[in-house]
Amino acid sequence: MHPNPLFRTDDDALMESLIDRVGFGTIFAQTPDGPRVAHTPLLSTGAGAVRFHLSRGNALTRHLDGTTALVVVNGPEGYVSPRWYDQRDAVPTWDYVSLELEGRVRRLSNDALEEFLHTAIAKHEGKLGGEPWRAEESSEGTWSGLFRGIVGFELEVLARRPTFKLSQKKSPPERARIAEGLDAAGNTALARMIREAAA
């Protein structure tokens, strides 16, 4: 989390929307073999927890149940050029959005893992448009093979540490130019968040 309180938020809806938009996170935990990290799709339960799954062979899988872990959700990020400032006698910076979620992890039951998978598939297929693929299109052998290879988890969020560093130190005209510059450079996601934060 960035140390400047200007870049923090208490807006739970904003943090939930980031988890929903990104849908992917990085899990960090200490193990007897040292610190380990894994990358995985995430779903918020809407009740103060996030669910995810890992490969059964992942170095974190056998250590997560009952431990404290950290999930990081990274949103849009990008270089901000002084060419967009009122004064060019400045230095560049990097705007970014990131959310740290710390909490206790528990292993999901097979039923809860099945529910998580179906919910995640429906959510992401719905974003693609067109005729969605359905889990029922997998044969029993294919689905059960997948299921045997993964383990589901839920992290109960005990602390949230957000950073929404979106050029808040700059004037409204500068922020508008920064958003325009990012748009022109193809970073429309970060430009949109800067505009949303300024609204």
Q: pLDDT of 30-80, one tens digit each?
A: 999 999 999 999 999 999 999 999 999 999 999 999 999 999 999 999 999
* Domain assignment present for 193: no
Contact 135, 81 (CB under 8 A): no
* Domain assignment present for 39: yes
The enclosing domain of 156 has a CATH number of: 2.30.110.10
Tens-place pLDDT, residues 101-132: 999 999 999 999 999 999 999 999 999 989 99
If one counts the domains in the chain, the total is 1
Residues 6+ apart with CB under 8 A from 90: 82
Alpha carbon distance 114, 118 (integer Å):
6
* Domain assignment present for 181: no
* Domain assignment present for 116: yes
- pLDDT band per the 50, 70, 90 thresholds, residue 199: confident
For residue 85, the enclosing domain spans 5-168
Tens-place pLDDT, residues 130-178: 999 998 899 999 999 988 999 999 999 999 999 999 999 999 999 999 9
* Domain assignment present for 90: yes
* Run of H or E including 13: helix 12-22
* Domain assignment present for 196: no
**76: three-class secondary structure by DSSP:** strand
Contact 135, 119 (CB under 8 A): no
* Domain assignment present for 184: no
* Domain assignment present for 192: no
